[in-house]
Chains A and B, each alone.
Chain A
Amino acid sequence: MKRTFRGGIVFPSALQNQKETAQASSFMTIFPKQLHLSLNSALKPTVSVGDTVLIGDRLAADPDGKFPPLHCGISGTVTAIEQSSVITVISDGSNTFGTLLPPLSKTASREALLQRMYDAGLVGMGGAGFPTYRKYQAPTIRHLLINACECEPYLAADVRLSIEHSDTLAEGIRFLAAAAGISSREAVFCTESPTAAARLSGMGIRTILLQGRYPQGSERQLLAAVFGREIPEDRFPTDCGMIVSNVATAVAMAEAAHGLPLTHRSVTVSGMVAHPVNLFAPIGTPFSDLIEQADPLLSRRRCRYIAGGPMTGTQITSLTSGLPKTCGGVTVLPALQITKGPCIRCGACVRVCPAGLMPFRIEAAHLAGEKDNTATACISCGCCSYVCPAKRNLAAHIGEARQEMRQRP
């Protein structure tokens, strides 16, 4: 019996087949004509309109030195900086590299590696986008899990990355272990894909094959599956001596050690497209350019475009906006409308909730303007809404309830 966590969903084979198709498609690097790079509130542009930039050049940095900088993935000219929050770069078509960072040796110190994580702009690429160096500087780390449990339907880039670039990944895992201050034998590669597991154990990395079940890739669920232990609600895994990093982050670490800042990322474009593809795309590539690679003829109006997977992704409001560091997939789905009905107390949401909540109750309390203090344990996985036969938007409402409770506890 493969290890897993409590609750969750095994998706029907129609969805799983889509994923397998996508996992079989090799990476293609794309060279977009322009980039739109969004900055978060910490980052300030370090370039001005009209500047010439090369691949790997810094575009923005945090004056306080807390949030890692942002680098450019193409060579060209900065043509616009909108309200200091979106930088537009137009390509000159030459794809010239700028001056890169000096390569690090395999025996580089922990401090050097942490510094490199910052300089190369590394953030968690599995979703949250938390600065990587901040996680790894935690004092007493004992366990490092490399997460290739890509449990959402349609997404395949993480597994594909593990299969196609297993050597770079293995190297990245060793660097990450060193950065965490542990031996690389303590790092464990976790996946739901037997092929990926075989590749990495062939590279001398410890691997654990987990059951294909959603949300296996959720940090806390993964830790529960592997160690049989729960992280207290008000603590982080690092407080318990554990780090979970996404495979894309590990690959970015290997490249950073070679001197390349984080300028590209792996992304699956899938769903209602002619052929699902896995791409290496510069950060900031417009979503429309990504979608074009999978289906040039897609009629744009009747679809719904999701940044990320269909379970936890967010709807893309503008197709010209650029790919962020945290987004590993673009999913095109039919713009289905659902009619919701009253809750019939079937209990399905209770059985699937990996957090052990009673979603229908929290939703009812929230809609009635009452508080239910269990809401804060919700991990927003969406399992409850997925299974609900009455098609209630449980996860969305519980998310609102949680937000309110965090604001005024």
Chain B
Amino acid sequence: MTLAAPYVRADRTTASLMTTVCVALVPPSVAAVYVFGFAAAVRLIVGLLTAFVADRLSGIHRPFDGSAAVTGLILTLSCPVGTPLWLLALGSVFAVFVMRDAFGGIGNNLFNPAMAARAVMLTVFPTHLGGYTTPDALSTATPLSSAHATPTLDTLLPRLIGTTNGSLGETSALMILLGAIWLIARRVVRWQVPVLSLLGFSIVSLLTTGHLILPLLSGSILFGAVYIFTDYTGKPTTPFGEGLFAFGVGATAALLRIYGRYPEGVCFAILLWNLLTPLIEQLTAPHIYGRKKRV
């Protein structure tokens, strides 16, 4: 077969990209195992393995490109440690089989597969996913009610290093930050995405509740800003659209968190903005060289 020009190609491949994301997911995974112990380790393994098996059985992505591993890991890390293993396995298979491949495979799906599966799990089995070990002030039905106290070092430090609040991936802000630095340095993620989504989240939470730092360090927003909003699936590809999307998701997550029924603001916010992506992409298409108007 003759290769079409250009005859040199960048080293990066889909598989190497997914590997980089998996590596970025190691710090929060380690923190999860450190904080929750064996239960977290088992869940990570189950989530990863079921996603892998589902990917191989579906067979849309040959050879293995690693995207299923990312989906499996992100799904697991966004579930609380009390999630039953069967539910996790089901969710993981559902994410890969239905949300990703039934929609035509990677790149064709409208919704972020992990988050779509997460939302379905939550809707169908609400009681099974409520099992946060230490109910987070922000994740309870009356969000932010106990966050009125001024944040002190005592309340912030554990959240930075590692706490048992919330889902597996959210235990340590520091570890998430580490992953973020890695992803940005490797140019898998543009810094604008996490920064703008946190900005959107902060502005809305500041305006509505008057608090800033606590929401940032607790709950899934930080994990979402780094690992979920940055997922290519369902995100506008235009630089400007991407920024808009990030800001919007952050702001919506805060709104849902404060006024919504579910603690999972991040999950529903991204699904909502996934729906808007085609429109945003259309509206933010770059200016074409030498043309006056967009067609």
Contact = CB atoms under 8 A, between A and B. Distances in A.
Interface of A: 6, 12, 15, 153, 220, 224, 230-234, 304, 306, 310-315, 331, 333, 336-339, 341-347, 350-351, 353-358, 360, 373-374, 377, 379, 382, 385-391, 393, 395-396
Interface string B174-207: 0000000000000000000000000000000000
B59 interface: no
A346 B295 contact: no
Of A337, A344, A354, the most chain B CB neighbours within 10 A belong to A344
B152 to A, nearest CB: 41
A88 to B, nearest CB: 27
B148 interface: no
A350 B6 contact: no
B287 to A, nearest CB: 5
B116 to A, nearest CB: 16
Interface residues of B, number: 42
Interface in B277-295: 281, 285-292, 295
A149 B222 CA distance: 44
A344 B67 contact: yes
A345 B286 contact: no
A399 to B, nearest CB: 8
16 contacts: A233-B288, A310-B5, A311-B7, A313-B5, A333-B7, A337-B1, A342-B61, A342-B105, A344-B67, A347-B232, A347-B238, A350-B237, A350-B286, A354-B289, A357-B288, A358-B281
B107 interface: yes
Contacts of A6: 289
Contacts of A224: 289
Of B239, B286, B292, B295, the most chain A CB neighbours within 10 A belong to B286
B65 A338 contact: no
Contact of B291 (A15, A233, A386): A233
Shortest Cβ-Cβ A-B pairs, 6 listed: A396-B4, A347-B237, A382-B6, A233-B290, A356-B286, A310-B8
Contacts of A395: 4-6
B115 to A, nearest CB: 15
Contacts of A314: 5
Of A312, A350, A393, the most chain B CB neighbours within 10 A belong to A350
Contacts of A373: 295
Contacts of A233: 288-291
Given A233-B289, A377-B288, A389-B13, 10 more contacts: A153-B8, A233-B288, A310-B8, A336-B3, A338-B3, A342-B61, A345-B233, A347-B238, A374-B295, A391-B9
Contacts of A345: 107, 232-233, 235, 237
A14 to B, nearest CB: 10
B149 interface: no
A224 B289 CA distance: 9
B280 to A, nearest CB: 12
Contact of B242 (A311, A347, A357, A396): A347
B232 A386 contact: no
